[in-house]
Structures are given as structure tokens and as C-alpha cells.
Amino acid sequence: MTDVPTAAPPTLAEGCAEPPATRYDVALLDLDGVVYVGPDAVPGVPAALATAREAGMRLGFVTNNAARTPDEVAGHLSRLGVPADPADVITSSQAAASVVAGLLGAGSRVLPVGGPGVAAALRAAGLTVVAAAEDRPDAIVQGYGPDVGWPQLAEAVVAVRTGARHVATNADATIPSPRGPLPGNGAMVAVVRGVTGQEPLVTGKPDPAMHAECVRRTGARRPLVVGDRLDTDIEGARRAGAASLLVLSGVTDPATLLAAAPMHRPDLLSADAAGLLTGHPPVVAADGAWRCGRWSASVAEGGGVLSLAPAGPDPRVDQVADDGLDGLRALCLAHWSSHPDEGVPARVVGADAAAADLLTGWGLLTTATRR
């Protein structure tokens, strides 16, 4: 049997023998689901980021959450043990305000829909904030806010219907929370779009402007985007030409990762942002399978099913300690190499009880079966 794949392998295959904190000079960190979930820090992440800083890595914070001002975000981070200055924070409200000012000119009238961070960013960009559709806004800027409800959405609908440009800070359908995913700005944007029939201009991630601004502020030469969302963080990194680290502490789960489209496939993978401090193993093709650490993944049963099995020692892939995700890395390469141009949901089986237990632990219970 020949080695796979026939196409060039995805970049996850390369790994990173050294800790990313020593290879990359700046981490461009998403916040919700990466540094914190709700009001609380992801366990262990503040200490990990402090260690990354000690290793010489600088931190920038790039968030699609438009609800708060950079000062509020920096204060929250500092209280969680991640010291931050407002200048270290780029919000999607700032990106939207810059786009609107560029399109419509300083002083243009804008109706904010969202948390206080939206209006603050508009004022800082020299725009005129108005309170209602009757004020004849030139645009509305819609961003996440926990108190957004029918009155604000109604004003937005009326304003768009009477000619205002609809600008959205992001289209994230969900936000992470301690109770699981909750409706994000994209869900609210869909309400306005559905009623008006007008497509909004979306300015947040994955548009590369936010990452580019953070690179400009930090002077990064080798940036690494760290995020929990495939369609914003990982795609945004690819569009900005930066490397990416996906963490599983937010909204993306292993099944979603396996089904990722090419633009959504990360370069590195870890359970959380502590992955900045450890090496990442390569994934190598051998004998019709993909090997990572002590796990092997192959395409079985006519190409429709993936099989995960334990594998013996191999010096090419045993140089980095197993962080519990080696099997998932192998599965990703096996599946993505079979579908190089599209994202396709995966069916997975375990070759033995140990493999089935691992798959079950990753939340693949419905497809993890012992063969």
C-alpha cells in the first residue's frame, strides 16, 4: 500500500518541535473561549500566558466581542491575572468604526446597536452617535451586547429600511459561556438581515484588518493567532498570512475540527492556551496511514470511515510528549487528506477498546465504536 496523501499535506502535519512561545514573537489572542469563558479565566491560562511572556513572547488581544471598551477589556484581563494595557486590545467595534469612518467620512451619523463598546468606538473614530432611526443615521453598527433586545433591533430595522448602511462588527452565531454556547452577534444580525433583506457589511474576524492592526501595534514579525473558532480565528489567520493555534477550550469540538474546510484548518492544536509552552508533534504518512505519537489513523471501508488504532514506537513522531491529542491530530490528517478541497463530516471507529475510549472522551460518542 502506498503512502498518503496524493495532494500536499495540511500544515498541521508539520508540528512545532519547540514551544510556540519561543518560535513566534507575538501571540494574537482571541479572548472569549481562549483566555476566559464568561467572567472567569480558563483554568491555568493566566499562569501559562505569564510563562509565555517570560520566554519573550508578547501578547496582543483581538476580540470579536464588541460589548466592552478596550479599557474595560484590559481591566478585566488584569483582574484575571493577565496584565494588559488598553492599547494591547483590538475590538471588532474599533474595526467597524474605522471602516465606517473611511466609507462615510468623519462626522457621519451612526446608530449603535449593542453594548457600550460600540458607541464608544464610534465616538473615538470621530463619528456622530445618534439614538434612533428618526435621527436619519447614515449607518447602523451592530455588535454584541447582553442587553440587546427587541427595541434596539426594531430601530435597526427601521434605519436600514430608510437607507442606513448595515455594518456588523462580526457574524459569530454563538459565544462560549459556562452553560455552553449562547446566541452571539451573528444571531442578532440575522434578525435584521432577515427582516430587511439587506446583507450587512461584516468588519470583524475573519476579515484580516483586526489581526493586521494588532501586528502593526506590536511590531510582530512572526505572529501566531490563538483562537477557539474556525470561521473567525483560524480563517482570519490564514487570510492575514499568520500561523494559527486552535484551542479546544471554547466553541470548537473535535467533530467540528474534523469537518473543517481548508480555510479553517489550523497549523497547531492544543487543549488550551498552555499549548504555547509545549512542543507540538508532527503527523507523518506511512503505510497508508497517518501517524502521530502512539496513534495511527487511516481511511477504511471504501473511504467513508476513519479508523483510529494504537501504534508502536516511531522515532519520527515520538519526540514530543503526548498531550492527549495525538490521535485527533492523526485523524485530522487522514480525513483532510481524503477531502483536500472541502469540509466533510467524519465517521470514526476505534480499532480497539482503548481507541474507542479515546474517541468517546473527545465527544465522538455517537460515532466512536469498537470494531
Active site residues: 30, 32
User: With contact defined as beta carbons under 8 Å apart, do 127 and 106 qualify?
Assistant: yes
Q: How many CB atoms lie within 10 A of CB 54?
A: 9
Spatial separation of the C-alpha atoms in residues 304 and 127, rounded to whole Å? 54
- Count the helix, strand and coil residues of the chain and give each as a percent rounded to the nearest 5: 35, 20, 40
Q: 68 near 86, Cβ under 8 Å? A: no
Residues 6 or more apart in contact with residue 325 via CB below 8 angstroms: 248, 269, 270, 271
Q: Which helix (H) or strand (E) holds 21?
A: helix 20-23
How many angstroms separate the first and last alpha carbons of the chain? Answer: 21
- Measured from the Cβ of residue 338, the count of other Cβ atoms closer than 10 Å reads 16
Taking the C-alpha atoms of residue 194 and residue 202, their distance in angstroms, rounded to an integer, is: 15
Q: Is 4 helix (H, G, I), strand (E, B) or coil?
A: coil
What ranges in the chain are assigned the alpha helix state H?
Answer: 20-23, 45-54, 70-79, 92-104, 116-124, 150-161, 185-196, 209-218, 235-240, 254-258, 326-338, 353-361
Q: Measure the CA–CA gap between 357 and 324, rounded to whole angstroms.
A: 12
Sign of CA dihedral 99, 102, 106, 109: negative
Q: Indicate the DSSP class of residue 169.
A: S
Residue whose C-alpha is closest to residue 46's, from 15, 13, 83 = 83
Q: Are 313 and 292 in contact (CB under 8 A)?
A: no
Q: Do the beta carbons of residue 80 and residue 31 sit within 8 Å? A: no
Q: Which of 269, 282, 202, 200 is nearest to 230 (CA)?
A: 269
C-alpha 267/C-alpha 315 separation (Å) is 22
